């Protein structure tokens, strides 16, 4: 049996053991609490670092202070705020993405995004409509195969240029299926500046291209029309003046500038009143504008730069605006000087021809009537009457022949010739003898080589030429004088010259001597004639393949020369 001391000792041992166990357990719990506090402090410091707050120091807050400070609650609230902000940002981003997508698809230009290998990453609706409508499975295919429809990019490819330069590149009027596009490429780079994607925009300019082409065509047509009009206006023989309603000259063609008395550089900008010395033309223009009626053409005489008056037929044409008001006009001036002189000469010709025809006809009728009276007149007198009738009939026949010849010339016909070998000396002698007998006041000379001259000509027509030239020499040598015919032989032709010592001619008269109906002196006291002889003479000489020339001066006589070919070899 144990004693009391032994029992205490055992109890104490048990108590001590329990105390040790509790101490060990308490130490374990304390260590666990310290580890937990250390872990929490570390995590709190880490979270505070994330949100930008300085870490907690041990001396600042103990465990109770940490709990009172509630950093986890603060961080939790911060994260709640961050999440709320993120949610709002996501909402804004989603709205922006929708707006961008709507704009991306609503824009009128085609847009495609390509990676570095030209594979399509995205595209808008317009691009699909342009290049591959109805096609599916486009993402991942290269733009070359779908859009260019080639195995390799075409020259000037915008993608290739962007990849090479790393900058914005553009190509104008790229053609695709008869459509034209302005193409712009923009690079998308990473942080290192390397191009990762290329955004390409296709803006269709087909209408602009067609408009430009139509505009160019219209411009070319307008330029061509302007050039044609300018060429026509410049080449028009008639003078053209373009004026405004007040009569100020805006344009004058070269023909008009040559008609006006002022230098060309001073003409444009002047009024019709200033351009023309009298007020007739300007007055008619003002009346035409006021009455809005161009009126009939009229003749206007204008003094030229080198002197001498010219007659112009003036026509007026009014230019109207859309409302019908006169905005200007065109005046054409046609030189009708020759026409008016020709009309005058024709009028004189009719009067002269009537007189020339009436005179022999009167004589023929008168003497024919006398011939019928066989009792009053003797046989000799009646024979003289018959000779006079024959002479007048020949003159009448010559005049009719001249009229027939001139009608052939007017019709463009060649006067028929019966060419043969002609001994020129006797032919000239025959003509001279007639005039020696009919014009005894004049002296007639014939100068010719001793050797006979044989020409190839129509003897009747050459006789007609000689008669005309000798007749004119007699007519225009009223006081008599010497008339000579000279024959000069050359290698292939003979020259026949008829010279007189008469009144002569001025240079202007020489220029017009071969005109139809022209007479050197058309006054009432002038010699008789219808003004056709020299025209016929020139045509007869030219029909022989020869030429005729005139030398003369006022008061110094006239020499008219023409050539005739010698008889060719082999002709008899």
Give the best-scoring range by mean pLDDT among 2-6, 216-220, 384-388.
216-220
pLDDT at position 39 = 75
Contacts of 332 (CB under 8 A, 6+ apart): 238, 239, 240, 241, 314, 315, 317
Q: In whole angstroms, what is the distance from residue 254 CA to residue 246 CA?
A: 22
Q: In whole angstroms, what is the distance from residue 48 CA to residue 71 CA?
A: 8
Res 526 pLDDT > 50: no
Q: In whole angstroms, what is the distance from residue 82 CA to residue 329 CA?
A: 86
Collapsed DSSP state (helix, strand, coil) of residue 205:
coil
pLDDT interval class at 570 (50, 70, 90):
low
pLDDT at position 522 = 47
pLDDT at position 137 = 81
Q: Which residue did the predictor score with more confidence, 173 or 356?
A: 173
pTM for the model: 0.39
Query: Rounded mean pLDDT of 110-122?
Result: 89
Q: Which residue did the predictor score with more confidence, 314 or 100?
A: 314
pLDDT interval class at 217 (50, 70, 90):
confident
Query: Rounded mean pLDDT of 529-543?
Result: 78
pLDDT at position 485 = 94
Phi/psi region, residue 473 (left: phi>0; alpha: psi -120 to 50; beta: rest), is: alpha
Q: What is the pLDDT of residues 323-338, one digit of tens each?
A: 888 888 888 888 888 7
Q: Measured on CA atoms in the order 264, 266, 267, 273, is the torsion positive or negative?
A: negative
Q: Tell me how far apart the terminal alpha carbons of the chain are, to the nearest angstrom.
A: 206
Query: Rounded mean pLDDT of 375-387?
Result: 73
Res 152 pLDDT > 70: no
pLDDT interval class at 418 (50, 70, 90):
confident
The H-assigned helical ranges of 187-205 are: none
* Phi, psi torsion values for 493, nearest 5 degrees: -150, 170
pLDDT at position 423 = 92
pLDDT at position 571 = 63
pLDDT at position 560 = 94
Res 6 pLDDT > 70: no
Beta bridge partners of 333: 239, 314
Res 59 pLDDT > 60: no
DSSP characters for 475-524? HT-TT-EEEEEEEEE-SSEEEEEEE--SS---HHHHHHTTSTT--S--ST
Pairing status of strand 481-489 against strand 442-447: parallel
pLDDT interval class at 339 (50, 70, 90):
confident
Q: Which residue did the predictor score with more confidence, 424 or 515?
A: 424
Helix (H) or strand (E) holding 548: strand 548-552
Res 566 pLDDT > 70: yes
Q: Measured on CA atoms in the order 135, 140, 144, 147, is the torsion positive or negative?
A: positive
Collapsed DSSP state (helix, strand, coil) of residue 122:
strand
Mean pLDDT of the chain: 79
pLDDT interval class at 66 (50, 70, 90):
low
Q: Which residue did the predictor score with more confidence, 93 or 419?
A: 419
* Phi, psi torsion values for 202, nearest 5 degrees: -110, 110
Q: In whole angstroms, what is the distance from residue 174 CA to residue 157 CA?
A: 10
pLDDT at position 523 = 45
Res 103 pLDDT > 80: no
Res 506 pLDDT > 80: yes
Q: What is the pLDDT of residues 24-39, one digit of tens each?
A: 888 888 888 777 777 7
pLDDT at position 84 = 79
Contacts of 451 (CB under 8 A, 6+ apart): 489
Q: In whole angstroms, what is the distance from residue 551 CA to residue 437 CA?
A: 27
Res 351 pLDDT > 60: no
Res 269 pLDDT > 80: yes
Give the best-scoring range by mean pLDDT among 247-261, 318-332, 403-417.
318-332
Which residue spans within 95-236 are E strands per DSSP? 110-115, 120-123, 169-176, 179-189, 195-204
CA angle in degrees (0–180, nearest 5) for 295-261-256:
50
Res 546 pLDDT > 70: yes
Contact call for residues 332 and 240 (beta carbons, < 8 A):
yes
Nearest to 244 by CA among 162, 331, 153, 373: 331
Query: Rounded mean pLDDT of 43-51?
Result: 65
Query: Rounded mean pLDDT of 113-138?
Result: 85
Res 484 pLDDT > 90: yes
Contact call for residues 508 and 308 (beta carbons, < 8 A):
no
pLDDT interval class at 426 (50, 70, 90):
very high
Query: Rounded mean pLDDT of 504-513?
Result: 87
pLDDT at position 550 = 93
pLDDT interval class at 241 (50, 70, 90):
confident
- For the record, the structure tokens of 308 come out as 């001498």
Q: Which of 164-168, 171-175, 457-461, 470-474 has the lowest mean pLDDT?
A: 171-175
Q: In whole angstroms, what is the distance from residue 435 CA to residue 474 CA?
A: 8
Contact call for residues 277 and 262 (beta carbons, < 8 A):
no
User: In the chain, what percentage of residues exceed pLDDT 70?
Assistant: 74
Residues composing the chain: 572
Q: What is the pLDDT of residues 163-198, one digit of tens each?
A: 989 999 998 888 887 888 888 999 999 888 899 999
Q: Which residue did the predictor score with more confidence, 556 or 6?
A: 556
pLDDT at position 395 = 67
pLDDT at position 248 = 87
Query: Rounded mean pLDDT of 231-250?
Result: 81
pLDDT at position 488 = 93
pLDDT at position 212 = 83
Q: Which residue did the predictor score with more confidence, 438 or 194?
A: 194
pLDDT at position 349 = 60
pLDDT at position 168 = 92
Contact call for residues 357 and 333 (beta carbons, < 8 A):
no
């Amino acid at each position: 049996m144990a004693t009391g001391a032994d029992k205490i000792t055992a109890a104490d041992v048990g108590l001590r053991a329990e105390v040790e166990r509790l101490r060990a357990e308490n130490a374990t719990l304390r260590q666990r609490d310290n580890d937990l506090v250390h872990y929490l402090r570390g995590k709190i410091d880490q979270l505070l670092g994330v949100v930008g707050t300085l870490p907690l120091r041990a001396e600042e807050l103990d465990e109770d202070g940490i709990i009172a400070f509630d950093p986890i609650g603060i961080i939790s609230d911060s994260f709640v705020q961050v999440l709320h902000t993120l949610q709002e940002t996501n909402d804004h981003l989603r709205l922006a993405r929708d707006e961008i997508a709507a704009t991306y698809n609503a824009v009128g230009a085609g847009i495609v995004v390509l990676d570095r290998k030209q594979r399509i990453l995205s595209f808008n609706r317009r691009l699909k409509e342009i290049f591959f409508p109805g096609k599916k499975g486009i993402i991942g295919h290269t733009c070359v195969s779908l859009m260019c429809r080639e195995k390799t990019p075409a020259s000037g490819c915008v993608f290739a240029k962007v990849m090479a330069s790393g900058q914005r590149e553009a190509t104008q009027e790229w053609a695709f299926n008869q459509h034209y596009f302005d193409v712009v490429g923009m690079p998308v780079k990473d942080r290192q500046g390397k191009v990762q994607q290329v955004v390409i925009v296709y803006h269709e300019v087909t209408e602009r291209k067609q408009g430009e082409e139509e505009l160019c065509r219209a411009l070319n047509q307008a330029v061509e029309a302007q050039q044609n009009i300018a060429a026509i206006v410049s080449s028009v023989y008639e003078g053209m003046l373009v004026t405004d309603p007040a009569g100020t000259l805006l344009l004058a063609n070269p023909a008009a500038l040559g008609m006006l008395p002022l230098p060309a550089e001073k003409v444009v900008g002047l009024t019709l009143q200033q351009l023309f010395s009298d007020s007739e033309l300007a007055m008619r223009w003002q009346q035409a504008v006021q009455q809005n009626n161009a009126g009939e053409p009229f003749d206007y005489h204008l003094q030229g730069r080198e002197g001498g008056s010219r007659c112009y037929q003036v026509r007026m044409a009014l230019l109207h605006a859309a409302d019908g008001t006169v905005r200007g006009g065109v005046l054409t001036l046609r030189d009708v000087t020759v026409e008016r002189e020709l009309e005058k000469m024709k009028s004189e010709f009719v009067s002269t021809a009537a007189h020339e025809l009436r005179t022999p006809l009167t004589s023929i009728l008168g003497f024919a009537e006398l011939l019928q009276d066989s009792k009053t007149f003797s046989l000799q007198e009646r024979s003289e009457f018959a000779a006079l009738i024959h002479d007048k009939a020949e003159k009448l026949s010559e005049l009719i022949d001249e009229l027939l010849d001139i009608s052939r010339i007017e019709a463009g016909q060649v006067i028929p010739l019966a060419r043969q070998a002609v001994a020129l000396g006797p032919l000239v002698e025959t003509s001279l003898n007639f005039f020696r007998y009919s014009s005894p006041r004049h002296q007639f000379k014939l100068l010719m080589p001793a050797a006979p001259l044989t020409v190839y000509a129509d003897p009747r027509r050459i006789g007609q030429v000689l008669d005309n030239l000798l007749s004119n020499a007699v007519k225009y040598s009223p006081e008599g004088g010497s008339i000579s015919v000279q024959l000069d032989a050359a290698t292939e032709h003979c020259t026949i010259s008829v010279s007189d010592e008469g009144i002569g001619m001025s240079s202007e008269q020489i220029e017009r001597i071969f005109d139809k109906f022209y007479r050197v002196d058309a006054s009432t006291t002038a010699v008789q004639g219808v003004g056709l002889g020299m025209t016929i003479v020139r045509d007869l000489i030219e029909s022989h393949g020869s030429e005729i020339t005139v030398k003369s001066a006022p008061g110094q006589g006239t020499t008219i020369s023409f050539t005739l070919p010698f008889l060719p070899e082999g002709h008899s």
